[in-house]
Chain A
Amino acid sequence: MEQRHPAMQAVSPVELLSLHDVSKRFPNVLALDGVNFDLRRGEVHAVCGENGAGKSTLMKVISGQYQPDGGTFTFKGEPCRFESTHAAEKAGIAIIHQELNLVPQLSVAENIYLAREPRRGWFVDRVRMAQQAQHCLDRLGVHIKPGDKVRSLSLAQQQMVEIAKALSLDAEVLIMDEPTSSLTESETSQLFRVILELKRSGVGIVYISHRLDELEQIVDRVTVLRDGRYISTHDFAQTSIDDIVARMVGRALEDKFPERTSIPSEHCLLKVQDLQRKNVFGPVSFEVRRGEILGFAGLMGAGRTETARAVFGADPIDAGTVHFEDVLLDIGSPLDAIRHGIAYLSEDRKCEGLAVKMSLAANITMSNMAAVSNRFGFIRFREEAAVARRYIEALDIRTPSEHQIARHLSGGNQQKVVIGKWLFRDSRVLFFDEPTRGIDVGAKYAIYQLLDALAARGIGVVMISSELPEIMGMTDRVAVFHDGHITGVLNTRETTQEEIMQYASGLNPQACDASPTLNPQACVKPHSIELNREPSLETLAKR
């Protein structure tokens, strides 16, 4: 073994990695704008920020996947520019992605040395490969054999294999993107032991996690990003989680949201009780009221999408009941839910919402074909086209005609088509899963207006969102999810982003042991009764 161990090199306080005033531009978006970041040997440096703050972009710049458009980037004191992840890996920078990049059918050793297998002549030197893999695994102190198939390992073990792979590359910088998002508590503490071990041997670790509560166990310094801009860097010992959260969400609510015109009522449309899917989420209980927008806040993987899909019948449930206006529903499939007026708009439009090869008109009528066909199942095309044109006008969909293939529409217009589909079905409760993801600002505003108009028509709107400003700006009440449970239902007007963030991070001690049904009195007084000013929304309201 002729590997250099980072441990054998002198541990110097000098910056291992230093980025100054780095920017990265994508079409229409400045993803990074003057970001500073540095990493010392033997430290764990956390990067915090909301979704879309630029964390992943920064990591991709460091790991060579993206090239910065401006600023300086020095590695071990020398300016450098990586043209690919491969080049960065060779220099000693490894990244472990949230979704692991292992080949399940191959063994641990084969995965560690994939595409750079030790050879003897034309053949793979299996003995040497196994020995070297064993050596890397030993350094981590984990009990995994090089010959084990990756698919037989737990997620935590697979992560260890990824780390071993990074060690085998002599990585001096290790980037970990949400490493604990799918680990259990004991697996997490095992990971932390390994991280501390790596730290001691001089490896610099960049650590990204939404779970702020776990930072204090391992982190030395914290850098906060917001909206692609650099906010601050602090020693963790000299700051607090509250401070970090405040800096993360610190932006003032600008005029990004339309005035709310809907008036939430006390009338309960949908009542979900103790709904549960084992090992996925729950039990959760909540209710959706007529004319309100209820937010589902929380971190990714907290169970928001899963809950909505279960109510909609897209996934099976293990326990719990769903009542619609006091009638117990038996929902076994999306069709059952749709018949009862419940709709779900997926976060993944292209994969789950739209039939992209079909026309706009076909997509709008897809869940309500009976309304545009006669009793023998023949489609009345003139009527279908009229329906499609009605929604194109009402939702202001930008398209040459109703025959346009859905694939060729922009993201915002595709989202409007999906909304049109559920409006045509006369849905009474609509679950919107990240309705504005991947949509530009102007289209976002239109979607917000639409959500408000829907609520004003007496529809119960549930908006799942990872963007706190959106939750603050658009909802009447907000249910906060953490780890598969609702940790709090808050009145939006009486809460703050900081409070929501605390519930979402599982930090609020009273929230953790309170029953999920807490805050039954959290009902909203009608606010702004100003009526809608958008003519297109009135067209909607007529239906």
Chain B
Amino acid sequence: MKRSLNDKQKDLIQKFAALGSLVVLIIMFSVSSHAFFTVSNGMTVALQVTSIAYLGLGATCVIITGGIDLSVGSVLALSGVAAALMVKSGASVPVGMLTGVIVGALCGMVNGLCVTQLKLPPFIATLGMMLVARGLALEITGARPVSGLGDAFGVLGNGSLFRIESIGADGFPNVVFPGIPYPVILMVVLALLVAVMLSRTTLGRHIYAVGSNAEAARLSGVNVAQVTLFTYVLSGALAGLTGCVLMSRLVTGQPNEGVMYELDAIASAVIGGTSLIGGIGTISGTAIGAFVIGILRNGLNMNGVSSFIQQIVIGLVILLTVWIDQVRNRR
């Protein structure tokens, strides 16, 4: 009885530790830079966080089952250029983007089949896909960016909702409210959907069960292979979507986009308390983790810290949070 209370307290501490460090970061950067705590910078950070967050959602599900997906950075590039090439060859933008998402989902399916049917370790299966997808993206584009896609292609990445402008005295528009960028809206919607899926549905319960004890789940009648496959397909599809949004922001298909993004995704999940052993993790945690990384980058940038130092800081933050997690789980 006493121990369980302590565990609950520990969990609470972990939750607040991540959230608390996020608040501390915001306060620190607000003090050190006046431009930091503004609506428009807030939207910038949110926009920057979107790609980590999309990938983090998939990564969280995969990691909860005890797996890992290293391929998402490459898959997003392949999906993005696939969408761009479709649009270039005359397809409408929605059809092109849908193609991108489907390409991502197919890559995820291959990952999932390698893991569940060929019994490859997830690390190896997705490492292979990481190379294959990147190679494919470079091959089909000849390693050149796909440009000339038209304005419509850029709407998803650059448009926003509730943007308010007023025409100033000089005749140029003044931005009263920058609006909520479409990618941010998408992020919130997707995070809510995945969170509901994980916490409130049978499927989500089974994902946790597989990660907590795959053999017990199998002997309880859970279709372990199917559940595992689903998480990889989800991760792939979200990588595909990330690719479309990123390429849309650039209005160009970039086959070199997304290098090392998989590590940001995994880091956001891990900072948010997802256990690499499986069975534990939440979407709210991953969202906090994504914002910790995003705000660190943005804040350090505004304070003129070089990108090299940024890498060092983010690396140390990951070590620190995972260490805290280890201490928490040690009993």
Contacts and interface: CB of A to CB of B under 8 A. Distances in A.
Interface of A: 312, 314, 333-335, 338-339, 344, 346, 351-358, 362, 366-367, 369-370, 373, 376-379, 381, 400, 404-405, 408, 421
A356 B7 CA distance: 14
Nearest to B280: A357
Nearest to B223: A335
B4 A355 contact: no
Chain A interface SS verdict (over half) = mixed
A335 B222 CA distance: 7
A355 B223 contact: no
Which of A354, A366, A379 has the most chain B CB atoms inside 10 A of its CB? Answer: A366
A405 B206 CA distance: 16
Contacts of A346: 216, 219
Given A358-B208, A358-B209, A362-B205, A314 B279 contact: no
A334 B220 contact: yes
Interface stretch (B113-121, B195-203, B309-317): B195-203
A373 B202 contact: yes
Contacts of B220: 334, 338, 366-367, 421
List of 9 A-B pairs having minimum Cβ-Cβ separation, nearest first: A355-B212, A367-B220, A338-B221, A357-B279, A335-B221, A369-B202, A357-B212, A377-B202, A377-B201
B217 interface: yes
A408 B7 contact: yes
A370 B213 contact: no
Contact of A373 (B201, B213, B279): B201
Given A366-B217, A366-B220, A421-B220, A355 B209 contact: yes
B218 interface: yes
Nearest to B275: A357
B1 interface: yes
Contact of A354 (B3, B4, B200, B213): B213
B215 interface: yes
A335 B225 CA distance: 12
Contacts of A381: 200
A362 B220 CA distance: 12
Contacts of B221: 334-335, 338-339, 367
Contacts of A352: 213, 215-216, 219
Contacts of B280: 357
Contact of B4 (A333, A335, A400): A400
A379 B202 contact: yes
Contacts of B206: 369
Contact of B205 (A369, A376, A421): A369
Contacts of B208: 355, 357-358, 362
Nearest to B219: A334
Interface in B203-258: 203, 205-206, 208-209, 212-213, 215-223
Contacts, number: 85
B3 A344 contact: no
Interface string B174-208: 00000000000000000000000000111101101
A53 to B, nearest CB: 30
A378 B223 CA distance: 18
B205 A379 contact: yes
30 contacts: A333-B218, A335-B222, A335-B223, A344-B219, A351-B215, A351-B216, A352-B213, A355-B212, A355-B216, A356-B213, A357-B208, A358-B208, A358-B209, A362-B205, A362-B208, A366-B209, A366-B216, A366-B220, A367-B220, A367-B221, A367-B222, A369-B205, A370-B202, A377-B203, A378-B200, A378-B202, A379-B200, A381-B200, A400-B4, A405-B7
B219 A362 contact: no
A377 B200 CA distance: 8
Chain B contact-residue range equals 20 to 34
Nearest to A349: B216
B219 A356 contact: no
Given A377-B201, A378-B200, A314 B1 contact: no
Contacts of B212: 355-358
Given A366-B217, A381-B200, A400-B4, 9 more contacts: A334-B218, A335-B221, A339-B221, A353-B216, A353-B219, A355-B213, A357-B212, A366-B216, A370-B202
A426 to B, nearest CB: 13
A370 to B, nearest CB: 7
Contacts of A354: 213, 216
Contacts of A379: 200-202, 205
A377 B203 CA distance: 7
Contacts of B216: 346, 351-355, 366
A444 B18 CA distance: 44
Given A338-B221, A400-B1, A351 B202 contact: no
A119 B209 CA distance: 50
Interface string B1-32: 10110010000000000000000000000000
A80 B87 CA distance: 84
B202 A404 contact: no
A56 B3 CA distance: 33
B279 A355 contact: yes
A114 B220 CA distance: 42
Nearest to A379: B200
A378 B201 contact: yes
Contacts of B213: 351-352, 354-357
B4 A408 contact: yes
A212 B200 CA distance: 56
A376 B197 CA distance: 11
A338 B218 CA distance: 11
A406 B209 CA distance: 12
A335 B200 CA distance: 22
A408 B3 contact: yes
A369 B212 CA distance: 17
A356 B280 CA distance: 11
A312 B215 CA distance: 13
A358 B4 CA distance: 13
Contacts of B202: 369-370, 373, 377-379
Contacts of B201: 373, 376-379
B64 to A, nearest CB: 10
Interface string B277-292: 0011000000000000
A314 B7 CA distance: 34
A355 B217 contact: yes
Nearest to A372: B202
Contacts of B200: 378-379, 381
Nearest to B11: A405
Contacts of A376: 201
Contacts of A338: 220-221
A351 B217 CA distance: 10
A362 B4 contact: no
A422 B209 CA distance: 16
A43 B280 CA distance: 55
Contacts of B205: 362, 366, 369, 379
Nearest to A367: B220
B4 A405 contact: yes
A257 to B, nearest CB: 28
A104 B239 CA distance: 41
A335 B219 CA distance: 8
A369 B220 CA distance: 10
Nearest to B215: A352
Nearest to A404: B4
Contacts of A369: 202, 205-206
A404 B212 CA distance: 15
Contacts of A400: 1, 4
A404 B4 CA distance: 7
Contact of B209 (A335, A362, A377, A404): A362
Contacts of A334: 218-221
